[in-house]
Amino acid sequence: MGQEITQTHFNEETFKVYERRLSDEAELLQTQLSEGRFSDIGDIGGYELESWLVDHNYFPSPINQPFLTRLNNPLVVPELSRFNVELNGAPLPLQGNVLSALARELDQNWQQCQDVAHGMDSVLMMVGILPTVRQADLCLANMSDSKRYRALNEQVLMQRAGRSLRIRVDGRETLDIDHPDVMLEAATTSFQIHLQSPQRNAVRYFNASIIAAGPLLAAAGNSPLLFDTDLWDETRITLFEQSVEIVDESSLENHRVSFGQGYARESLFECFAHNLATHPVLLPILMDSPPQQFAHLRLHNGTIWRWVRPLIGFDPDGTPHLRIEQRVLPAGPTIADMMANAALYFGLARFLASLSDAPESRLSFEHARNNFYAAARDGLRAPMTWLDGSTTDAKTLLLEEILPMARHGLKILNINKPDINHYLGILETRIQTGQTGAVWQRNYREKHQADSLRLVAAYLERQRSGAPVHEWGL
């Protein structure tokens, strides 16, 4: 979805041609995977950070295009709305001091972005949902100036026969609204982690990433508020799922955003095949590229937002590779917190994928999915079922089971001990204190009877310090 397109309206013949190319590329993908022709290079990590541009009144600042022009950094690109941008990190092998190296690179890019934003009377902010965003801000006038976003909105609404989107969230309070377009998606900003896997390990890494999603999200909630309504610890999850919902021709729900349909069994091709079988094409952009680039298949995959999503990329020598995109984490509260979350994911995924007894044979997909949604609702208080069939709260599970697994996995990857101790130490203290970003936002709001403006001001002040969220005072 990151690529620009040249048109926004498509006729029936364009759809037919696109679908033929999609089918041809899917057949080629199946052949290449069955012949083991994808890369054996793996254990490489990267990230994407979606962030907010906020003005001095603490409301969204819709200036991303002039901001990006002035910044002139190819690693920072537009997002759906004019008040969001995305920072990308260069992929690095998961070894040695990679965690501190990723943090250093992100901090340098972040500071450069802040310097430019300050010169435009704005500031960048990392948070899952900006507490001051209003429904009126999420309108087509604030959509980024990109044909691909306009086309996406038109196609979603066309497949919904023009009906508005219904958003209902039952959390600590209840939100029930209608919205005329896909712009509610822009209210959800995340820290997406990429993990490149050798083809031979891709199924195990994918399934491990599904199992890890629930505990990972429980430790990282940072999106409790939407339109001054207190909802889930990670309201971003249910909001995104409902913001691009499509109803197909048979009037059955066809979820473009979901936890997926099950574990992979033999090959990640199963995920791409499911995409073709169940999701109609949204953007039939015809591209002049050889089938070996999988351009049409990759674009179609980019319009289906599984929380754990397989991606096709290419090594520097052009060999295709498989990556897992772990999409569950919110942006923020700080770079230190996000790198701690990344350490947990990389270590836990490596540990689970290395077990001789595949954990997906011990934990059903339904339990993994239930863990994920329980974590989105209740964070560290969420009930979770684990590999031995026992059920406990997420806080206990993380401290007693998950963190030791992640530590062992990072050791297998040969991550430096100081990096392991530093980042898992941040995570351990956050879990012990129970102060995630979501918990801090709620507690600050309640203690000070604060409105969303005061909350954002206090949040930004603490974010600027760089201190992890468990150290934030009220």
Distance CA 36, CA 324 (A): 18
Number of domains forming the structure of the chain:
1
pLDDT at 186 (0 to 100): 97
Average pLDDT over residues 412-429: 98
Residue 229 resides in a domain: yes
Q: Are strands 44-55 and 257-258 parallel, antiparallel or unpaired?
A: unpaired
Q: Quick one: DSSP state of residue 198?
A: -
Question: Would you report the helix, strand and coil content of the chain in percent, each value rounded to 5?
Answer: 50, 20, 35
Residue 398 resides in a domain: no
CB of 67 closer than 8 Å to CB of 140: no
Residue 246 resides in a domain: yes
Nearest one of 227, 150, 148, 191 to 340, comparing CA atoms:
191
Length of the chain, in residues:
474
Distance CA 236, CA 325 (A): 17
The SS3 of residue 20 is helix
Average pLDDT over residues 292-318: 96
pLDDT at 8 (0 to 100): 58
pLDDT at 160 (0 to 100): 84
CB within 8 A of 312, min separation 6: which ones? 29, 294, 297, 298, 301, 320, 321, 322, 323
Q: What is the CATH number of the domain that holds 323?
A: 3.30.590
Distance CA 423, CA 425 (A): 5
Q: Following DSSP, what letter does each residue of 330-386 receive, concatenated?
A: BP-S-HHHHHHHHHHHHHHHHHHHH-SS-GGGTS-HHHHHHHHHHHHHHGGG-EEE-
For 340, the domain range is 12-210+224-357
Type of residue found at 252: L
pLDDT at 251 (0 to 100): 40
Residue 444 resides in a domain: no
Distance CA 459, CA 453 (A): 10
Residue 262 resides in a domain: yes
Q: Is the pLDDT of residue 158 over 50?
A: yes
Mean pLDDT across the chain, nearest whole number? 95
Q: Kindly list the distances between the CA atom of residue 221 and the CA atoms of 149, 317, 441, in Å, as whole numbers in the listed order.
A: 28, 39, 10
pLDDT at 319 (0 to 100): 97
The SS3 of residue 132 is coil
pLDDT at 120 (0 to 100): 98
Type of residue found at 170: D
Q: Quick one: DSSP state of residue 415?
A: B
Q: Is the pLDDT of residue 252 over 50?
A: no
CB within 8 A of 257, min separation 6: which ones? 240, 241, 243, 244, 245, 305, 306, 307
Lowest mean pLDDT among 81-90, 148-157, 359-368, 375-384: 148-157
Nearest one of 117, 185, 151, 113 to 3, comparing CA atoms:
151
Q: Which helix (H) or strand (E) holds 136?
A: none
For residue 190, list its beta bridge partners: 330
The SS3 of residue 403 is helix
Residue 126 resides in a domain: yes
CB of 427 closer than 8 Å to CB of 297: no
Nearest one of 427, 336, 288, 401 to 106, comparing CA atoms:
336
Distance CA 341, CA 107 (A): 16
Residue 117 resides in a domain: yes
Q: Kindly list the distances between the CA atom of residue 12 and the CA atoms of 9, 15, 284, 299, in Å, as whole numbers in the listed order.
A: 10, 5, 10, 18
Average pLDDT over residues 456-461: 98
Distance CA 107, CA 474 (A): 25
Give the confidence band of 146 by pLDDT, cuts at 50, 70, 90: confident
Q: Following DSSP, what letter does each residue of 71-109 receive, concatenated?
A: H--TTEEE-SBTTEEEEE---EESSBTHHHHHHHHHHHH
Give the confidence band of 380 by pLDDT, cuts at 50, 70, 90: very high
Report pLDDT digits (tens) over 273-297. 999 999 999 899 999 999 999 999 9
Lowest mean pLDDT among 6-10, 11-15, 375-379, 463-467: 6-10
Record the pTM.
Answer: 0.96
CB within 8 A of 295, min separation 6: which ones? 25, 287, 289
pLDDT at 10 (0 to 100): 84
Average pLDDT over residues 2-14: 69
Give the confidence band of 52 by pLDDT, cuts at 50, 70, 90: very high
Report pLDDT digits (tens) over 322-344. 999 999 999 999 999 999 999 99
Q: Is the pLDDT of residue 248 over 70?
A: no
Q: Is the pLDDT of residue 2 over 80?
A: no
Residue 363 resides in a domain: no
Distance CA 430, CA 292 (A): 45
Give the confidence band of 413 by pLDDT, cuts at 50, 70, 90: very high
